């Protein structure tokens, strides 16, 4: 059985469906801050536990073979508004989940990080970054993701093998849509207003990735 933390969210709700399509048994752990709409049509096919990542207990991981953590706070504005909550959700809760997973003997652990740890993106810097590239997290969100990465990597041994995905800016349809993501915002504004708004003179650069490709990467 696979545990998806944040399974009712933007990525999680799509990931859960793909896991089910592949024949996996799925349990989700989610606070449902945005409600259950993202999983409404698959609720009878999955196990659901409602709770806060920061207070998760060992029982959540009973009979679990793999953990995918796509929970936590997921954007810069929220992180800047409440840096403490951002750190607790993205760093402390991730460490707690990893320790519980290791205690349960769960070897496979996948963590949703972000390419924002490399720096802010501007035009003219179209380069390939990998795990050997220099990182330079500047904002609360990217710093929290990098801190969580370092904690996970220190826990690696033969019985615990975390995989970290530094994803680009995601776009595309989800059963729990997000319109704070740049491509989704452009499409929404184009359809509803007939125009799109470009900030910072169009100098910002984003590595983009379709949500369907993100889901495939997790599998």
Predicted pLDDT of residue 41:
94
Band (pLDDT 50/70/90 cuts) for residue 29 is very high
Q: How confident is the prediction for the chain on average, in pLDDT?
A: 92
Query: What CATH number did the domain enclosing 25 receive?
Result: 3.40.50.720
Q: pLDDT tens digits for 153-197? A: 999 999 999 999 999 999 999 999 999 999 999 999 999 999 998
- The residue-averaged pLDDT of 119-148 equals 82
In this prediction, residue 120 carries a pLDDT of: 65
Cα distance between residue 89 and residue 54, in whole Å:
7
Residue-number span of the structural domain to which 89 is assigned: 2-218
pLDDT digits (tens, 9 = 90+) for 44-61: 999 999 999 999 999 999
pLDDT, greater one: 125 or 140:
140
Those residues with Cβ within 8 angstroms of residue 95's Cβ, 6 or more apart along the chain or in another chain: 148, 151, 152
3-state secondary structure 140-191: HHHHHHHHHHHHHHHCCECCEEEEEEEECEEECCCCCCCCCCHHHHHHHHHH
The CA distances from residue 129 to 116, 117, 137, 171, in Å, are: 11, 11, 14, 20
Closest CA to 26 of 9, 38, 42, 50: 42
- What total of structural domains would you count in the chain? 1
Q: What is the pTM of this model?
A: 0.92
pLDDT-derived band at 77 (thresholds 50, 70, 90) equals confident
């Amino acid at each position: 059985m696979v545990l998806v933390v944040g399974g009712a969210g933007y990525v999680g709700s799509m990931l859960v469906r793909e896991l089910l399509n592949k024949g996996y048994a799925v349990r989700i752990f989610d606070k449902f801050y945005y409600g259950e709409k993202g999983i409404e049509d698959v609720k009878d096919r999955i196990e659901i536990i409602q709770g806060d990542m920061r207070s998760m207990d060992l029982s959540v991981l009973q009979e679990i073979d793999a953990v995918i953590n796509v929970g936590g706070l997921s954007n810069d504005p929220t992180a800047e508004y409440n840096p403490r909550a951002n750190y607790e959700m993205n760093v402390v809760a991730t460490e707690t989940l990893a320790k519980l997973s290791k205690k349960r003997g769960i070897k496979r652990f996948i963590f949703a990080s972000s390419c924002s740890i490399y720096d802010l993106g501007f035009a003219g810097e179209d380069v390939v970054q990998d795990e050997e590239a220099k990182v330079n997290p500047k904002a609360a969100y990217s710093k929290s993701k990098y801190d969580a990465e370092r904690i996970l990597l220190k826990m690696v041994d033969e019985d615990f093998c975390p995989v970290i995905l530094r994803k680009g800016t995601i776009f595309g349809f989800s059963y729990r849509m997000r319109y704070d993501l740049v491509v989704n915002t452009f499409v929404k504004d184009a359809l509803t207003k007939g125009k799109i708004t470009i900030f910072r003179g169009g100098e910002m650069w984003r590595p983009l990735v379709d949500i369907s490709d993100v889901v495939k990467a997790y599998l």
